[in-house]
Amino acid sequence: MSSPSKRREMDLMKLMMSDYKVEMVNDGMQEFYVDFHGPSDSPYHGGVWRIRVELPDAYPYKSPSIGFVNKIYHPNVDEMSGSVCLDVINQTWSPMFVFLPQLLLYPNPSDPLNGEAAALMMRDRPAYEQRVKEYCEKYAKPENIGAAPEEKSSDEELSEDDYESSDEAIAGQADP
């Protein structure tokens, strides 16, 4: 067994023995999900996130690909795809059980994937923290980590009773 694969096994075992829930995607050790809670001393406290991790063949010499499954409001995470900024991963890469809380405790607004979050964080920190808490409440509850947001949308479809519309409301009134 080569050194990189031993390191991969060791890091994965440490992650599995930590407080995180780890779910392997296949029989291999290169793709897995990690469920973790927001650090208690951050605006992310109370939130639960699921991330998908893909370890490259060259791990640990090359950093993993990391993406959030459920939405998070964070300067270094793309809001739509959940991708974590590569520069942030490459600059601060450490074992996963150290990296995840660090990512939430120390966002880097100077290298954003979510420009709105970065701007709000730099301009109005209390408003940024409030938005983070709103996202935690809406997207980061234990029931939110089982499926990606787009998979949940069928539960949120409007029934006919909720959809109050008439042809006049859509088209407007006819000219006399």
Which residues are catalytic, by number?
Answer: 85
C-alpha–C-alpha distance, residues 162 and 157, integer Å: 9
What DSSP state is assigned to residue 126? H
* CB within 8 Å of 133: residues ≥ 6 apart: 43, 46
Please report which helix (H) or strand (E) contains residue 8, including its range: helix 3-17
Please report which helix (H) or strand (E) contains residue 118, including its range: helix 115-123
C-alpha–C-alpha distance, residues 66 and 84, integer Å: 6
Q: What is the side-by-side order of every strand in the sheet holding 31-37?
A: 21-24, 31-37, 48-54, 65-68
* CB within 8 Å of 143: residues ≥ 6 apart: none
Secondary structure (H, E, C), 101-113? HHHHHCCCCCCCC
